[in-house]
A and B are shown apart, each in its own frame.
Chain A
Amino acid sequence: MTSVTPTVQPEVHPVGAHRAEVDRIRDDFPGLHQQVAGHPLVYLDSAATALKPRQVLDAERRFAELRTAAVHRGAHTLAATATEEFEGARATVAAFIGAAPDEVVWTSNATEAINLVAYGFSNASTGDRLDGTDAFRLGPGDEIVVTELEHHANLIPWQELARRTGAALRHLPVTEDGELRMDLAPDVIGSRTRILAFSHISNVLGSVAPVAELVRQARAVGAVTVLDACQSVPHRPVDVHALGVDFAVFSGHKMLGPTGIGVLYGRRELLRELPPFLTGGSMISTVTMERAEYLPPPHRFEAGTQKVSQAIALAAAVDYLREVGMDRIGQWQGMLGQRLAAGLVGIRGVRLLGPAPGTERAGLASFEVDGVHAHDVGQFLDDRGIAVRVGHHCAQPLHRRLGLTASTRASTYLYTTAEEVDLVLESVADVRPFFLGTPR
């Protein structure tokens, strides 16, 4: 592979040095090579869902064609192979995030992973305590803390958990520019805090949370940390042990994998004490007509037939990302994010949300076009084959705080070229002239 020399300086851009490798990567993605609205597709919606490389699709099909068998049951050869591949996929994904295999639980998506933790607390609070521990018992007087910029997936499950248990839900506010009010953290995170749930990277702003500092404050008060890593694990190296979080969640489809699979990471000691969420077959050891004994983690949390081919495809996605190198993917996307941010602030009537150019941001940027609704912006860009996300991006409270109901988001991935970023910037500059008749 050609060497990559990305830079955070948007005006210095090593397109030549990098272009050959990105082109090679792009050849692996059949989805990139299609026309939309009579134009070559410019896919800038990877933060919503990533395109899939042939290697991932092949892995899933190969398993479905030749290896299909029930896992963790059956004595025949195929059943044994399927089990081996399924657990091998778990080990691959675990190693990718610096975790042990028994700390990785398969879920349907990140939302289910957060609900798994929330319902573990909930079940513990209504009397289902494993080994007599009170670690997950919540009640009146306890507090759950989130931040104001959370995706609804990391908000509603905690609202509901608070409602069921009588605990209070508090939040760390953001400024009107979307910056976390870390100055208020010591007031919000205190002795009553039992859970601190927050996003590693904001899906709207692209800003990066001060994970170490938040973990330090949570630990100081004995609170459990839950990290929404949906926008970080796909795009940069993440080591959950090094971050020191207790739980972390992410989804497969945002990291070149299939839909229908997500991951919950849980620190071993905590998973061991967490009551199950879904119950049934596959998660038990001994069953009588009256009661059941549960398996140890991770299988305690995997009731019923599992997402086997999806897990294997997700492991193939991880292999693909590792081969390119997460460090380089992170650098490349950081550069594309800066290019987007710098370009957007230079367009008349456009308001960039989140960190200013030059400040750390992921490979995405959301913006508001003054006087033009985000849906109209999205429609206009679609007319040029450019796919972006419009709306509230499942973060209504954040948009309200920013004084908006909707915004437009362009998000990149390892297959995004600098030219594609420039194309969306060019097109955004044409939006107000088209709708409002203003000069460019």
Chain B
Amino acid sequence: MTAAELGALYQQLILDHARERHGEGLQPTGSVQSRQVNPLCGDEVTVQLTVDPATGNIASLHWEGRGCAISTASASLLADLVHELPADELTTRIGHFRDVMRSRGTLEPDEDLLADAVALQGVARYVARVKCAMLPWVACEDALRMLAAPSAPEPV
């Protein structure tokens, strides 16, 4: 990896989001939450979704966790993405993000689907770091599954 490649991994937007984190801090009003742990490093994140009662869409995403710049920036970028998305649309976008992350850099991310989170595309070339980027998205996916479950969602 050259210095240029290090910059491609840690794009300025990622460093910014790792410092100035959006959506950090869980809310008392959340609808569902999921905690995920990366067993490789012990990093963890709890993602909380709040449903807009009027539209049924995802009103906001909040999170709390400990992790590297990639995983915290990833949570922060995800928090920016969810606003007022229908749950199934968010699930689709998470699926696209996973495909990009698993592509080893061969799949271009769709900016219409991922917005600023396309900045994470450099991670896809570092297999050891893909889990870092995926962690909050996996937690979000799990929380969405709880929302969709016929049984009552896990109380926050």
Contacts and interface: CB of A to CB of B under 8 A. Distances in A.
A410 to B, nearest CB: 18
Contacts of A405: 41-43, 66
A396 interface: yes
Interface in B1-28: 1-3, 5-6, 9-10, 15, 18-19
B42 A435 contact: no
Contact of B18 (A38, A382, A396, A435): A435
Interface residues of B, number: 22
B41 A391 contact: yes
A385 to B, nearest CB: 9
Given A373-B68, A391-B42, A380 B1 contact: no
Contacts of B41: 374-375, 390-392, 405-406
Given A375-B68, A375-B132, A435-B15, A380 B42 contact: no
A383 B18 CA distance: 20
B42 A392 contact: yes
A379 interface: yes
B69 interface: yes
A391 B68 CA distance: 11
A436 interface: yes
Interface in B61-92: 66-70
Nearest to B43: A405
A390 B42 CA distance: 11
B40 interface: yes
Nearest to B41: A391
A44 B19 CA distance: 29
A383 B10 CA distance: 12
B68 A382 contact: no
Interface string A358-380: 00000000000000111110011
Q: Categorize the interface residue count of chain A.
A: 20 to 34
A376 B67 CA distance: 10
B131 to A, nearest CB: 10
A436 B19 CA distance: 7
Nearest to A434: B10
Contacts of A75: none
A382 B1 contact: yes
A392 B42 CA distance: 8
A37 B68 CA distance: 21
A434 B67 CA distance: 17
A435 B2 CA distance: 17
- Considering residues B15, B19, B41, which has the most beta carbons from chain A within 10 angstroms of its beta carbon? B41
Interface in B31-64: 40-43
A37 B9 CA distance: 14
Contacts of B2: 37-38, 383
Given A375-B41, A435-B69, A383 B5 contact: yes
B120 to A, nearest CB: 14
Contacts of B69: 372-373, 376, 435
Contacts of A38: 1-2
Contact of A37 (B1, B18, B132): B1
Interface of B: 1-3, 5-6, 9-10, 15, 18-19, 40-43, 66-70, 126, 129, 132
Given A372-B69, A383-B1, A436-B19, 19 more contacts: A38-B1, A373-B67, A373-B68, A374-B68, A376-B10, A376-B68, A376-B70, A379-B6, A379-B10, A379-B126, A380-B6, A383-B3, A390-B41, A391-B40, A392-B42, A406-B41, A406-B42, A435-B15, A435-B69
